[in-house]
Chains A and B, each alone.
Chain A
Amino acid sequence: MDWGSIFEGAIRAAFDLDAVVFAIAAIGLNIHFGYTGLLNFGQVGFMAAGAYGVGIATTYFGWNPWVALVVGILAAVVLALILGLPTLRLRADYLAIVTIATSEILRLSFRSVSLREFSGGSNGINGFANAFYAWSPFDPQVQYGIRIPGIDLSIKFFGNRAWILLIGWIVVVALLIFVRLAVSSPWGRVLKAIREDEDAVRALGKNAYWFKVQSLIVGGVIGAIGGMVLSIGTQTVQPDVYSTSLTFFVWTALILGGVGRTWSPVIGAMIFWVLLSFTEGVLRQGVENNYLPDWLIDGVQVGQVRFIMVGLGLCALLIFRPQGIFGDRNEMALEDR
């Protein structure tokens, strides 16, 4: 087995597009769940809103890319209002149910034949990100690398990928600064108080409902930015990428890093992809080199193991380490609620 390439793949995954997208989506989810205690089970719906907002605005309407970005963000705001206004007055389960259902229904709508002229059906929308890559300072044919000091290993990306990764990680840092500033303000204090006990907040004269709506919008917009980065990075918007499983991958990454702390979504996303890439690398090589018997696992099934693993991992985390890998149990936000 080629352990070198497995390790390289795993470390590469910590910086690659998936990790960036997950980090951004998890930062949004952290605002929802980590700071406000909202059960958003449809983060992928916000990601899809952002991605399709950009895709439809550029291809169908042929708008300027900057306008398209605004459209993507507005789409997320509208989605947050539709989801939040009716449900945030009710007990938390309602938001969970409505968000998971809406995200799946968005996917079905986007891939439907009747909306094909806008969203391209099951093929999705392609080739709308040219303007973005036209700004790239990197040569698409050249590989650009990061050298990790100490280890004899360098991770290289082709020019276009390097460009989106650079922008993506800059966005991550900007969002982290935003979150840091927001949650350390009185606004963030109200959110944290709502997470602890909504009634106490209302008794003190704060409109808890409105703060929850704001939180849903802010986190949803951040999720939409994640969707935009994903769609620009892959230069395509495919409906089936935005399945409900993706939401729970993001959840797992968030809980892995530790809920309710600024940095945790980023660390969680990186660790998540290292683990996933490592196990998949091992399994894939095991299958290809016939170390693993055919009746037990074949090439198609390797892809399915990911979902089983993440599902079980999510359960195990919540039962045995709800504070995440590095978290402190006393300070964790996820508690008996």
Chain B
Amino acid sequence: MRRRAVGRTVLDKPFWSKLCASVTFAILLAMLLVTGQSGAQSDASDDPVLQGTLSVRDSEGEKNPVPDVSITVADGADSIGATVSGEDGTFEIPVPLNGAEERVVAVTLEEDTLPNGVNLRNPDRNPLQITVRAQSGGRAVFGLDDEAVENTYAADTGVTMRRVLQLSAEGIKLGLILALAAMGLSLVFGTTGLVNFAHGEMITWGALVAFFFNAYGLAGIFGFLAGGLPLIGTGGNLVFAAIAALIIAFLTGMAMDRFIFRRLRRRGIGLTSQLVITIGLSMAIRYSFLYVFRGDPRSFKDWAVQKGVDIGPITLAPKDLWTIGISLVVLIAAGLMLQRTRIGKAMRAVADNRDLAASSGIDVERVIILVWGYGAVLAALSGILFGLGESVRWDMGFRLLLMVFAGVTLGGLGTAFGALVGSLVVGIFIQVSTLFISPELKSVGALLILVLILVARPQGILGQKERIG
């Protein structure tokens, strides 16, 4: 017996150190590649740069770059340079200072080169007088508006049966995506009493990891960090990427419990403090995503654009149908797991009465770590499915989280089934409300209905009365 025990510890140690060593090696390798890349860059001129970005907001309020617009720079009659905005809407023109500290130049945007329907918000502010300084350069900001967006509400405001059905279908899709995330949030809340504000970052994490596997193959995130050098292959199918992302999300979720929240519980840190800690974590992780992965929206390589399929009066892309199907199956499976399997029953037991569960022989800590794992998987899946329909962004999870909160509160905090129903209501409400209010205000509607329900039925639609504190 004793020899075996010794043998195990001996065997464990090299395994962990090997793992650590290989991870470190991989990171070092990635860094080397990055440095190699950036070392090659160098600036041709020392002149300060006048720069700017042309963008226009779409109906969702997202900034979209405006490429191929001509910009000229002049100082009086003296022409300094001209350029055309790039694919990302940016333009840069070096301005020679001829030894001075700063120089005032006139920046002109050629209005003819703007795309159709896009106009200067204030035509009087063209050309712009910009001061270019030796240290900081200069920045030219042109406000642009899209006529189409301005007219969106006017053009498509008719309340027709077809639109109601179409928006309801989209609402069901959104609701199911929200429900996936909401279920994870509810499970963690039920077992630990903690509302996890970092749940949104788990959504983003899943989508990001899936994106990187999708774009860079097995190299995944390292492929991105290495500056786009595909280490192995040129990208993987989204299905495999998603599965890999779910596995990683499972491990990450468990790690969050094991290395952060279990320790907090051990230290006797109260639930309120833990709640604020999840907020801090959420902010740190979210901006780390921005720091490392940059702010631009990304689309998956596969199925980015699909032709819609007519189903009766409504039109849905096949990926939307898959999204609805997959979330339904997963939600039902999760529900069955809670009802039927041993671990599911253990989860419900812990949620009902932790002390009783512990005294009846359930390993509460094991249940909690699994709940974190499953919660992360569900969140990651919702992120992947949301990214499939729209795009993957560094703060997508946080935006979704607010709607998830609305759903969870609506259904009643801590009830898994309530989370599902509440999310569906919120999803459908958000989409259908665009019939009447502008799409950028649709989340306002979600909050409004949340407050209304709280007034009339504080415990949520399905919550039980005694859950109120």
Contact = CB atoms under 8 A, between A and B. Distances in A.
B102 to A, nearest CB: 17
Interface in B383-415: 398, 402, 405-406, 408-409, 413
A257 B312 CA distance: 62
The B interface is mostly helix, strand or loop, or mixed, namely: helix
A312 interface: yes
B217 to A, nearest CB: 22
Given A85-B455, A308-B288, A113 B283 contact: no
Nearest to B459: A90
A109 B61 contact: no
B118 interface: no
A318 B150 contact: no
A105 interface: yes
Contacts of B413: 91, 93-94
A82 B264 CA distance: 34
Contacts of A152: none
B447 A96 contact: no
Contacts of A245: 283
A209 B285 CA distance: 36
A305 B286 CA distance: 11
Contacts of B268: 336
Interface stretch (B31-39, B79-87, B228-236): B31-39
Interface in B421-454: 437-438, 440-441, 443-444, 447, 450-451, 454
A308 B283 CA distance: 7
Interface in A22-75: 37, 39, 41
Given A101-B450, A295-B35, A318-B280, A311 B402 contact: no
Contacts of A319: 264, 267, 269, 273, 277
Contact of B277 (A112, A293, A308, A318): A318
Nearest to A334: B273
A123 B142 CA distance: 12
Contact of B409 (A94, A122, A251, A312): A94
Nearest to A299: B136
A109 B441 contact: yes
B291 A304 contact: yes
Interface centre among B37, B61, B437 (most CB of A within 10 A): B61
Contacts of B277: 314-315, 318-319
A289 to B, nearest CB: 11
A114 to B, nearest CB: 4
Given A318-B277, A319-B267, A112 B283 contact: no
B284 A307 contact: yes
Nearest to A288: B135
A111 interface: yes
Interface string A315-337: 10011001000000000001111
Contact of A112 (B61, B271, B454): B61
B287 A91 contact: no
B273 A314 contact: no
A71 to B, nearest CB: 21
A206 interface: no
A87 B468 CA distance: 11
B282 A112 contact: no
A336 B269 contact: yes
A91 B469 contact: yes
A314 B280 contact: yes
B134 interface: no
B443 A87 contact: no
Nearest to A123: B143
Interface residues of A, number: 57
A251 B441 contact: no
A96 B283 contact: no
Contacts of B195: 93, 96-97
Contact of A86 (B264, B270, B455, B469): B455
Nearest to B260: A315
Given A101-B406, A101-B447, A102-B447, A113 B290 contact: no
Nearest to A102: B447
A102 B267 CA distance: 33
B279 A308 contact: no
Contacts of A39: 272, 275
Given A109-B441, A294-B38, A336-B269, A311 B150 contact: no
Interface in A73-108: 82, 85-87, 89-94, 96-98, 100-102, 104-105, 108
B329 to A, nearest CB: 29
B441 A313 contact: no
A130 interface: no
Contacts of B344: none
B280 A311 contact: yes
A301 interface: yes
A293 to B, nearest CB: 7
B281 interface: yes
B293 to A, nearest CB: 11
Of B37, B408, B438, B440, chain A has the most CB atoms within 10 Å of the CB of: B440
A251 B150 contact: no
A82 B269 contact: no
B280 A315 contact: yes
Interface in A254-294: 255, 288, 293-294
A310 interface: yes
A138 interface: no
Contacts of A311: 280-287
Interface in B139-154: 143, 149-150, 153
A283 to B, nearest CB: 12
B458 interface: yes
Given A113-B150, A251-B279, A100 B287 contact: no
A225 B195 CA distance: 30
B276 interface: yes
A245 B287 CA distance: 10
A100 B291 contact: no
Interface of A: 37, 39, 41, 82, 85-87, 89-94, 96-98, 100-102, 104-105, 108-109, 111-114, 122-123, 244-245, 248, 251-252, 255, 288, 293-295, 301, 304-305, 307-308, 310-315, 318-319, 322, 334-337
Given A93-B413, A294-B41, A310-B280, 18 more contacts: A37-B272, A102-B447, A108-B444, A113-B150, A114-B437, A252-B280, A305-B287, A308-B291, A310-B284, A311-B282, A311-B285, A312-B280, A314-B279, A315-B281, A318-B269, A334-B272, A336-B268, A336-B269
25 contacts: A89-B458, A90-B468, A92-B469, A98-B454, A101-B402, A105-B444, A105-B447, A108-B441, A114-B438, A114-B441, A248-B279, A248-B280, A293-B35, A294-B41, A295-B35, A305-B291, A307-B290, A308-B283, A310-B283, A311-B280, A311-B281, A311-B282, A311-B285, A311-B286, A315-B280
Q: Which 3 A-B pairs have the closest CB atoms?
A: A311-B284, A336-B270, A314-B280
Interface of B: 31, 34-35, 37-38, 41, 57, 61, 135, 143, 149-150, 153, 195, 197, 264, 267-273, 275-277, 279-288, 290-291, 398, 402, 405-406, 408-409, 413, 437-438, 440-441, 443-444, 447, 450-451, 454-455, 458-459, 468-469
